[in-house]
Amino acid sequence: MESNQERNLRKEIEEKLNDEVLRGALSRFAEAYPIARAKAYENVEDLDGLRDKFRQMKIDTVANLEQIADKFETEATKRGVKVFRAKDGDALKKYLLDLCESKGVKRIAKSKSMATEEILLNHTLEDAGLHVKETDLGEWIIGIAGHRPSHMVMPAIHLSRQQCAEYFSQELHKEIPVDIPFMVQEARIELRQEFLQADMGITGANFGIAQNGAIGLVTNEGNARIVTTLPKIHVVVIGYEKLIPTIQDAAYIMSMLPRNATGQLMTSYMTLVDGVTPYMAKNAEGKWVEEEREVHYILLDNGRLKAAKDPMLKESFNCVRCASCLNVCPVYTVVGGHVFGHIYSGGIGAILTAFLNGMKDFEHINEMCIGCRKCVEICPGRINIPGLIDELRARAVKEHGLPFAAKVVFENVLANRKVFHTMLRMASIGQKPFQSGRVIRHLPLFLSGMAKDRSLPAIADTPFRDRMAKVAKKIDKPVKRVAFFAGCNIDFVFPETGEAIVKVLQDLNMEVVFPMDQSCCGKPVLGMGDRDTGKNIAKRNIEAFEKVDADVLIFGCPTCAETWHETYLSLFADEPAWLARAEKLAHKVQEFAQFVTPLYAAKGRLDKKNGATKVTYHDSCHMRRGLGIYKEQRQLLDAAKGYEFVEMKDADKCCGMAGAFGVKYTEISMPILKNKVDNIKNSGAEVIAVGCPACMMQIQGGLDKQAPNIRVKHVAEIMAENL
Amino acid sequence: MKRVCENWKEHFPEGKVSQEYFAEFETRAKNVGTEMFHVKTVTEGREIIAKIAEELNAKKVVAIPSAYVDASGALEQLKKQNIEVYTEAADIAEHVETADIGISTVEFGIAETGSVCYDGYSYESRVVSMLPPLHVVFLPASYVVAGIREGFEILSNVFHEGFTGFITGPSRTSDIERVLTIGVHGPSRFVIIAVDELPGGVN
């Protein structure tokens, strides 16, 4: 169900950023969630093993989805269930409306089902004159408010108790005080009547078991099991992605879903319903008699079966809808699910939206993913959410092309090193009126929002490429020949970092060469989904580095390193000759700290020092979760003369830069940066060390405005001080 | 009365169900707000139920008879306290909505989570556990498995059709400002009477 309305994302973002209730609720939740989750897993010995087994089970299920769906249908049918396979929302609605009409259904009690939200089922039922009530408290409240759920597990997290009380008063036609237990009791009384009077109960399903045709429902309130018990007709709406082969397989889901969703070891209720069950009704004489309930399963396709066959998108079947990916997402926790989401929220929501609701809705929200991969660390099914979003973006660009302005820049500027570098040199002069030292503090007119809480970096007067000749030393009998890839930020914004890297390497008896034909690694265009331009850039870089025939390729930027190490290989999957060339170089890729730490260890240079200057370290997302490098920098800092290393809170949380995101969505990037700056300040550090020049740019800008006494340095700069 | 399995105990996996898991089960159950009574003999359950009913000023109780419920003598005691007690399906259907207490028996406990597993195939057994504000269950203290995995192992053995599931503490919500609030649609109090003694006929 693709939405027809054009979204004004800027306006939506602004509204949410000004929504104090939302901001407060989300930031408190972001604080509390990781602690609650960690506690819930305390008595799980091998969480990673559990995730692997669950993931494998789902992969096997998707590979055999048709047989498993057939088995589920056969077993349910054997037990008296009527099974209908709906190819889309329209087919489902027609089936359901026909059923309501033939059975004289007037009142429907629903328990939470995202699949029915996805196809906007309630509107259709209400338009047909049916009385429909959501019975999950949060869903009931947003139903009164006329809102969409802003979180998959806590749909009303965006509302305050005061707002809730107003909606209660409106619905119950009486004054309801702002008292949560009282409100909950009122809802109990009101909704109890809905259960008792309903002719039909509609539930979703957290899983469907092929082995015996059962469905599983997971709730805390206990509404789902009442919906399956009191009404004479029970309709289950279940997406194909919820199918699992055996009863035992449900143990994986129940071991992780409650813990990941709400930090509970188990929800209050886990309910398994299988086949026709008895219910009691009064007969014509007013006597209670037992009858057989009518049960319908509607298996909803709506794009799922196509996704199941897609080599990449099928990974989305690993989702258990725990929403933990939202809970740790730096963007979600600033703007919430109404901005970052369509019906399903957050990163996983963007992916589900792409195949359940259509690419147009996906294109509205996919840019909200900043690729920090915090969600990948925590997802029970280990879904590579940012990776799938990248893939979908690339497909969207292939189909619809890039926006015109971006296309012009990418194809004519970024793909041509000389043009690009000339522009950067010109910018270094053009920025002068606004520049103050290394940063730009103020921008004129409409651009001023970009520099409000953060100074922007100034382009250096002399790029690194013009300084290399001065810093390069002739090394006698070098241990290795090292080729340095600087990346745009080190080359043009932080040339001192490049100098420091070269000095440290030369001190280790490395011969350092800098191929002048190197350009941008291509990540910015690849991140926007433009793989053709990305390929062009990659080829020029590969040629440049082949010429110097080095033993090692060194990177001072983890994003560039990862692009060379991983992305180039996937780009050339269909060009074997280039793939072979890319692979040969990829084997030589080493991130700076990764390369020098073992060499320092071998020289006995890693003894702990306690210096006068406190230094803390910020993990770049791509460094920590992309390359898996985070111990090395800490070892190096611990051993740095003149410094005392201290950890800060949430060291591995994104700083909000995330490539172009920090510039394009400045308004979202700033609150994320503010958290980072606060954590740096609270650590007591006078120096914040980073391993990534993009983070350096962002953090430097934030410190300049918010904590000018704290300095930011690349790890290499701190090391170079001690040579 | 329909049941998912007439005798769950027969299908317990060997060596995996034991009183050794009880201590952890008790801790975890209490952590989620379950009121836990651990007694030696089933007749002690009678006193516990009688006391709860008295404190609550209960007028009406719905109960599913079982070897434990019968042997406890709790229902007779409640009647002595002038409390209406209903145990037949039709009576339960009529009175469950206004009953103060529901009484039933569960099949086993899970130490990892403090959950209990119940057999809910019959209509009356389900509503007794769902609709009254207080639900009391009997559980043999030695029928406890270590974890969720073992719990599903038992379900794999017995669950061919019908209705079953886990209960873990009282009904709860955090839907308003994430404030934990007890007793939304299900019982606001959940009481387990765990009995060491295994009376004859208990499954």
Written as one string, the DSSP assignment of A261-291 is HHS-SS-SEEEEEES--EEEEE-TTS-EEEE
| Sign of the CA dihedral running A546, A551, A557, A560 | positive
Give A146→chain B minimum CA distance, Å.
16
CB contact burial A357-369 (16+ within 10 A = b; e otherwise) = bebbbbbbbbbbb
**Residue numbers in B near A182 (CB within 8 A):** none
Tell me the CATH number at A284.
3.40.50.10420
Give B127→chain A minimum CA distance, Å.
8
**Residue numbers in A near B113 (CB within 8 A):** 265-266
Does the pLDDT value for residue A445 go beyond 60? Answer: no
**Residue numbers in A near B124 (CB within 8 A):** 280
Residue A502 lies in a domain: yes
Does the pLDDT value for residue A716 go beyond 60? Answer: yes
Identify the bridge partners of residue A133 per DSSP, sorted by sequence position.
A109
Question: Does B181 sit within 8 Å of A254, measured CB to CB?
Answer: no
**Residues making up chain A, counted from first to last:** 723
Residue A577 lies in a domain: yes
Mutation pick from A265, A293, A333 vs chain B, by most beta carbons of B within 10 Å, is: A265
The label of the residue with tokens 């093993």 reads A49
- CA–CA separation, A333 vs A324, rounded Å? 11
Final residue belonging to a domain, choices A274, A300, A326:
A300
At A1, the pLDDT band (50, 70, 90 cuts) reads: very low
Residue bearing the bigger pLDDT, A295 or A417: A295
Question: Does A272 sit within 8 Å of B163, measured CB to CB?
Answer: yes
Question: Does B174 sit within 8 Å of A265, measured CB to CB?
Answer: no
| Count: domains in chain A | 2
Does the pLDDT value for residue A443 go beyond 60? Answer: no
CB–CB of A118/A345 below 8 Å? no
**pLDDT, averaged across chain A:** 91
Burial class (CB in 10 A: 0-12, 13-18, 19+), A20: exposed
**Residue numbers in A near B176 (CB within 8 A):** 137-138, 141, 156, 159, 161, 164, 180, 183-184
The pLDDT value given to residue B166: 98
Half-sphere exposure of A397 (CA within 13 A, CB side): 24
**Residue numbers in B near A43 (CB within 8 A):** 112
Query: In terms of DSSP bridges, do strands A613-618 and A643-645 run parallel, antiparallel, or are they unpaired?
Result: parallel
Half-sphere exposure of A72 (CA within 13 A, CB side): 30
Closest in B97, B110, B184 to A188, CB measured: B184
CA distances from residue A39 to A224, A306, A346, B29, B167 in whole angstroms, order as listed = 27, 38, 24, 16, 21
Q: Does B99 touch chain A (CB under 8 A)?
A: no
Element (H, E) at B68: helix B67-72
Region A565-572 average pLDDT: 95
Give all domains of chain B, ordered by start, each with its CATH number.
Answer: 16-195 (3.40.50.10420)
At A25, the pLDDT band (50, 70, 90 cuts) reads: confident
Q: Give the tens place of pLDDT for each residue, B100-136.
A: 999 999 999 999 999 999 999 999 999 999 999 999 9
Q: Give the tens place of pLDDT for each residue, A164-183.
A: 999 999 999 999 999 999 99
Question: Does B185 sit within 8 Å of A135, measured CB to CB?
Answer: yes
Domain hosting residue A63, numbered range: 50-300
Q: Which chain B residues in 112-141 lie under 8 Å from chain A, judged by CB atoms?
A: 112-115, 120-124, 126-127, 130-131
At A58, the pLDDT band (50, 70, 90 cuts) reads: very high
Region B178-186 average pLDDT: 92
Report which of A408, A42, A133, A24 is spatially closest to residue B112, judged by C-alpha positions: A42
Question: Does A159 sit within 8 Å of B173, measured CB to CB?
Answer: no
Residue A244 lies in a domain: yes
Residue A421 lies in a domain: no
At B72, the pLDDT band (50, 70, 90 cuts) reads: very high
Region A272-284 average pLDDT: 95
- CA–CA separation, A627 vs B98, rounded Å? 61
CB–CB of A9/A364 below 8 Å? yes
The pLDDT value given to residue A352: 87
At A412, the pLDDT band (50, 70, 90 cuts) reads: low
Residue B27's φ and ψ, nearest 5 degrees, are -60, -50
Residue A15 lies in a domain: no
The pLDDT value given to residue A697: 87
**Residue numbers in B near A277 (CB within 8 A):** 2, 121, 123, 162-163
**Residue numbers in B near A137 (CB within 8 A):** 173, 175-176, 184
Written as one string, the DSSP assignment of A10-71 is HHHHHHHHT-HHHHHHHHHHHHHHHHHHHHHTTT-S-HHHHHHHHHHHHHHHHHTHHHHHHH
Q: Give the tens place of pLDDT for each residue, B5-34.
A: 999 999 999 999 999 999 999 999 999 999
Question: Does A271 sit within 8 Å of B148, measured CB to CB?
Answer: no
Closest in A181, A251, A271 to B181, CB measured: A181
The pLDDT value given to residue A87: 96
Q: Which chain B residues in 39-68 lie under 8 Å from chain A, judged by CB atoms?
A: none
Does the pLDDT value for residue A14 go beyond 70? Answer: yes
Lowest mean pLDDT among A102-106, A262-266, A359-363: A359-363
Element (H, E) at A465: helix A464-471
Q: ipTM more than 0.95?
A: yes
At A341, the pLDDT band (50, 70, 90 cuts) reads: confident
Helices A250-262 and A20-40, axial angle in degrees (round to 10):
130
At A460, the pLDDT band (50, 70, 90 cuts) reads: confident
Q: Does B109 touch chain A (CB under 8 A)?
A: no
The pLDDT value given to residue A440: 58
Region A459-477 average pLDDT: 91
The pLDDT value given to residue B203: 41
Q: Give the tens place of pLDDT for each residue, B109-119.
A: 999 999 999 99
Does the pLDDT value for residue A158 go beyond 60? Answer: yes
The pLDDT value given to residue A296: 98
Does the pLDDT value for residue A194 go beyond 60? Answer: yes
Residue B142 is encoded by which pair of tokens? 């030695």
Give A207→chain B minimum CA distance, Å.
13
Region A236-241 average pLDDT: 98
CB contacts < 8 A (A, B): 189
3-state SS assignment for residue B134: strand
Give A413→chain B minimum CA distance, Å.
49
At A669, the pLDDT band (50, 70, 90 cuts) reads: confident
Q: Give the tens place of pLDDT for each residue, B74-88.
A: 999 999 999 999 999
At A409, the pLDDT band (50, 70, 90 cuts) reads: low
| Angle formed at CA A108 by CA A106 and CA A109, multiple of 5 degrees | 155
Residue A693 lies in a domain: yes
Final residue belonging to a domain, choices A300, A315, A346:
A300
At A715, the pLDDT band (50, 70, 90 cuts) reads: very high
**Residue numbers in B near A262 (CB within 8 A):** 174
Identify the bridge partners of residue A590 per DSSP, sorted by sequence position.
A554
Final residue belonging to a domain, choices A300, A325, A360:
A300
Does the pLDDT value for residue A88 go beyond 70? Answer: yes
The pLDDT value given to residue A453: 66
